[in-house]
Structure 1
Amino acid sequence: MNTATEERTPDTVVGQLVDELAGSLGVLLVALGTRAGLWKELAGAGPMTAAELAGRTGVAEPLVREWCRAQAAGGYLTYQPKDGTFMLPDGVAGALLRGPGLAMVDACTDMFRSMGAGFDEFAAAFAAGRGFGWHRHDALFWHGSDALTRVALPPELIGAALDQLGSVTATLVTGGSVLDVGAGYGTPTLAVAEHFPAARVLGVDYHEASVAHARATAADAGMADRVRFEVGTATDLPGADYTLVTFFDSLHDLGDPVGALVQARAALAPDGAVMLVEPLAADRVEDNLTPSGRMFYAVSTLICTPNAVSQTAGTGGPAPLGTQAGEALLRETAAAAGFTRVRRLPVEAPLNLVLELRP
């Protein structure tokens, strides 16, 4: 946490910037290792020289040599000076190859590539206070975002949350209906449908390209008969009497979060509920000044809040939540929308918190 304005010399600041650049380039090198098959060959192989790794992968030895040295400097590989060998430790292999590490990096790399190509346009909109809507990104960005969603919100996590909604869960097991707001490519929406095969599910999103992709995915999965996707906004939701309305990491993307929850409450059946999934955060800013908080604040600045601002710029409308709203502010937002019962679900989600809202 950094709440003080301690004296820092120019040298220490430049040193920090060098660390920043090293980390940014390091992410690209991790992704490069995936595409070149380097991580796969290193896993479980024991110590090997750069030349040996080059021989296994077909990548030129000088390139592999520099890549290995960079990974050793970053702590992903160990290096033995005596024989010049590199090794991928089991713990690192577990995180990268058997855990979410490489999938997360690959998804973010696609998003970074997209944002880099469009940075001038984004910076101009940012400086002018206009915001930057989701539709102004490109397909590479949208695909990367969906891949990241698959890492952060796997089906087993979504299912664990859905199983804790009491009467709502019981209704959806035998039927009922679900409305997913801000469905995007529909990955969580389809996870809900897979968890409740008897339920009817509708996903809405303002972004036409995402809706088209979600429809195609539902058709490929053989679920188009009971899972639909429509173009729509969070302030004009279609239908009524839903057993469950869901927001999967989407409320903070909206220009009017209270208005969206008002609409969601109005769309519920009398015994229905809203399930709200948002990034994990502390309630106080100073408690979010951590590496994780820094990442989320960066995502908020570059992606989520610009989308929300694009919906309200010049209207004098409500302030967006940002990606580090915290449970207290989310509860306040729910109360402002007319919800009287808010319960945090005991779900093991390293990057998210899950709230159940009832009128």
Structure 2
Amino acid sequence: MSTLQEQPVTDAAVEEQMGKILTELGASLGVLLTALGTRSGLWAALADAGPLTDRQVAAKVDVHPALVREWLRAQAAGGYLEYDPAGETFVLPAPVAAAIHYGPGGALVDACATMLSSMGEGFGAFSEAFRTGQGFGWHQRTAEHWHGTDAFTKIALPEELIAAAIGAMPAVVEALSSGGTVLDVGCGYGTPTTDIAKLYPAARVLGIDYHDASVAHAREQAGPDNVRFEVAAAADLPGSDYDLITFFDSLHDIGDPRGALVRARSAVADSGIVLLFEPLGADDVQDNLNPTGRMFYAVSTLACTPNAVSQETATSSEPLGAQAGEKRLRALAAEAAFSRVERLDVPAPLNLVLALRP
């Protein structure tokens, strides 16, 4: 099978690539359209409602019929709605409703739309930083981006998933139930940090992040008395002898991931565990060349890796990227002198969950 590079440049071949570009543009704008449907109540109006005309849908949500008409047609073109030309009606299929309206899909897209809005606003500065090989740190983003990321975190890392991961480590459960200590590295707005504090009210939980605005926001949120937040970098972890140290989708955002794990190894108790959540990716690049891998590589290019590059120093290990894979993570843990790495069997469709033991 010939590669794309080897294919002759014919009119048909160029037309095929232009078709891909148009598909790309439609899908990119579709993110905003899907979020519009969530925010305006259009998905809710269509769910379990059977065939409806554009005016019938508009009447249910009190949105101008012309706006609803175009939105419905766009979603039908995208394959999310079924259109009947005879009655000029639209139907939301049950699987789509289950994913977008009743399931987490709509909220995930909405969170990403919030981040994309911020990325678009700051794209000029970001593209110049990218072009010149500079990083683009979390502190250079807008509050809208931080809010969108937190919304995504709440969906991708729900409390029940965190509970399942910690519950799979009986010694940690026992320690936290009797007043143990937790350090969450790269806590952001502190959602998973606070979830741990709620799950284990006897534990003392500390969340740290280099980003002072995120830490300030985390402090402002109503949380249990056993959680607190501090501004600190992964290279300078406060305290020692923690029963549990967590990295919730944060290791690949750090400029020196090996150094962060080395410091975590020195800060965790001999009987403790470092719990690592990272996006689920295959070890080999070719096995990530699929729609899921494409999404994570895109996020990695636009957000995660630029933040890591902005933190690089002369002694930094290479940033991981958001699709590092289990093999690379295990190797990094070994380099940081962890003696054993266990993959936890928990319901995490978007994540790889590893327990690193001293």
Q: Distance in 2 between matches of 1:300 and 1:26?
A: 20
- State the Cα distance separating 1:16 from its structure 2 match: 0.4
Q: Distance in 2 between matches of 1:327 and 1:3?
A: 29
Q: Distance in 1 between matches of 2:163 and 2:136?
A: 33
C-alpha spacing 1:4/1:197, structure 2 compared with 1 (3 Å): farther
The partner residue of 2:204 within 173, 195, 200 is: 200
In structure 1, the gaps of 5 or more residues are none
Q: Distance in 2 between matches of 1:150 and 1:87?
A: 30
Range 118-127 or range 191-200, more displaced: 191-200
- State the Cα distance separating 1:179 from its structure 2 match: 0.2
Q: Which residue does 1:188 correspond to in 2?
A: 192
Q: Which residue does 1:44 correspond to in 2?
A: 48
Q: Which residue does 2:73 correspond to in 1?
A: 69
Q: Distance in 2 between matches of 1:95 and 1:136?
A: 33
- State the Cα distance separating 1:317 from its structure 2 match: 3.0
Q: Which residue does 1:332 correspond to in 2?
A: 331
Q: Distance in 2 between matches of 1:161 and 1:155?
A: 10
In structure 2, the gaps of 5 or more residues are none
Structure 1 runs of 4+ aligned residues shifted over 6 Å read none
Q: Which residue does 1:268 correspond to in 2?
A: 268
Q: Distance in 2 between matches of 1:152 and 1:180?
A: 17
Q: Distance in 2 between matches of 1:243 and 1:137?
A: 33
SS of the residue 1:45 aligns to: coil
Range 225-234 or range 5-14, more displaced: 5-14
Q: Distance in 2 between matches of 1:93 and 1:198?
A: 41
Q: Which residue does 1:319 correspond to in 2?
A: 318
SS of the residue 2:148 aligns to: helix
- State the Cα distance separating 1:35 from its structure 2 match: 2.0
- State the Cα distance separating 1:354 from its structure 2 match: 0.4
- State the Cα distance separating 1:98 from its structure 2 match: 1.4
- State the Cα distance separating 1:170 from its structure 2 match: 1.5
Equivalent pairs, count = 353
Q: Which residue does 1:254 correspond to in 2?
A: 254
- Would you say the 8 A contact 2:259–2:316 is kept in 1? no
Q: Which residue does 2:124 correspond to in 1?
A: 120
Q: Which residue does 1:350 correspond to in 2?
A: 349
AA at the equivalent of 2:46: L
Q: Which residue does 2:235 correspond to in 1?
A: 235
- State the Cα distance separating 1:26 from its structure 2 match: 1.1
Q: Which residue does 1:178 correspond to in 2?
A: 182
C-alpha spacing 1:43/1:178, structure 2 compared with 1 (3 Å): same
- Would you say the 8 A contact 1:281–1:324 is kept in 2? yes
- Would you say the 8 A contact 2:259–2:317 is kept in 1? no
Q: Please tell me the root mean square deviation across aligned C-alpha atoms, in Å.
A: 1.4
SS of the residue 2:245 aligns to: strand
- State the Cα distance separating 1:325 from its structure 2 match: 0.3
Q: Which residue does 2:285 correspond to in 1?
A: 285
**Pair 1:86 & 2:110 matched:** no
- Would you say the 8 A contact 2:219–2:229 is kept in 1? yes
- Would you say the 8 A contact 1:178–1:245 is kept in 2? yes
- Would you say the 8 A contact 1:3–1:286 is kept in 2? no
* TM-score of the aligned structures, taking structure 2 as reference length: 0.96
Q: Which residue does 1:295 correspond to in 2?
A: 295
- State the Cα distance separating 1:329 from its structure 2 match: 0.2
Q: Distance in 2 between matches of 1:300 and 1:275?
A: 21
Cα deviation 1:189-244 (Å, max 9, x = unaligned): 11111111111000000000100111111xx13x1x21010000000000111000
**Percent sequence identity over matched residues?**
60
SS of the residue 2:307 aligns to: helix
- State the Cα distance separating 1:151 from its structure 2 match: 1.1
- State the Cα distance separating 1:318 from its structure 2 match: 1.8
Q: Distance in 2 between matches of 1:283 and 1:88?
A: 37
C-alpha spacing 1:40/1:6, structure 2 compared with 1 (3 Å): farther
- Would you say the 8 A contact 1:254–1:311 is kept in 2? yes
Q: Distance in 2 between matches of 1:16 and 1:173?
A: 54
Q: Distance in 2 between matches of 1:57 and 1:347?
A: 39
Range 72-81 or range 235-244, more displaced: 72-81
- Would you say the 8 A contact 1:256–1:320 is kept in 2? yes
SS of the residue 1:287 aligns to: helix
**Pair 1:15 & 2:19 matched:** yes
Q: Distance in 2 between matches of 1:95 and 1:288?
A: 23
Q: Distance in 1 between matches of 2:195 and 2:3?
A: 41
Q: Distance in 1 between matches of 2:135 and 2:173?
A: 38
